Amino acid sequence: MDSRILIIEDDKNIARIIQLELEHEGYKTSIAHSGREGLDILEQEKIDLIVLDVMIPELNGMEVLRRIRSTDDTIIVIMLTARDSVYDKVNGLDLGANDYMTKPFEIEELLARIRSNLRFRSVKESDVLSIQHLSIHTGPREVYANNELVELTRREYELLLYLAENKNRALEREQILNQVWGYDYFGDTNLIDVYIRYLRKKLQNLNGDSLIQTVRGVGYMMKE
């Protein structure tokens, strides 16, 4: 597995047991025994998931989580704590924890939750098509440019998605018309030019240069 997991746990025995089990499963791991050490590792390494104990020295787990979420909402965080009060769980989840486990716990359950969270993130990421400043979320059919939502009609969205799925390929107008409007559409291919202008205008409002380029004598291409 390519996923890298950071264990932030001050109990060295527990941290080592978790590390050995994770590495046996094929994960790459790093260990920190304090909040500050954990944040330092995050600065230096690409981490996919954090197993974060609440009661750690220097900076507690809640503060570490708060700092992580102030700059990054993609890293998966599973909280570990000996406390089982509803307040602690709600506080952790409100701060952005993805999951919560109370000590003592079974290592098999922790491994199952790690697998589940990583699998869910993988599915989520597969639903996002990114090209430079542009992100196309195919599930909700939303488009973001520079993290700002771009309002598109259904046909504009379908045209943009088709261009993005075939990025760096010159697409003929007839080809675009058939794929986006359907083979039973017998309208003028000039319709493509009109919709390309619509898209360029909406996307250029958020970025100076258009990603959609004209290929003379052929049609259009979205170039990365």
Cis upstream peptide for 104 (omega within 30°)? yes
Overall size of the chain counted in residues:
224
Q: What is the pLDDT of residue 49?
A: 96
What is d(CA 93, CA 62) in angstroms, rounded to the nearest whole number? 10
> CATH 3.40.50.2300 in the chain, residues?
4-126
Percent of the chain scoring above 70 in pLDDT: 91
Tell me what pLDDT residue 186 has: 63
The segment(s) of the chain belonging to CATH 1.10.10.10 are: 129-222
Domain 129-222: assigned CATH number: 1.10.10.10
Q: Which segments in the chain show pLDDT lower than 70?
A: 1, 84-85, 122-126, 183-187, 205-209
pLDDT of residue 124: 59
Count CA atoms within 13 Å of residue 3 on its CB side: 22
CA angle (3 as vertex; 133, 24 as ends), nearest 5: 180
pTM: 0.58
Report the 10 Å Cβ neighbour count for 212. Answer: 18
> Is 4-126 a domain of CATH 3.40.50.2300?
yes
Model pLDDT, residue 191: 87
List, in sequence order, the alpha helices (H) in 84-218: 86-94, 107-126, 154-165, 173-176, 190-204
Instruction: Note the pLDDT of residue 125.
Output: 60
Q: What pLDDT is recorded for position 208?
A: 45
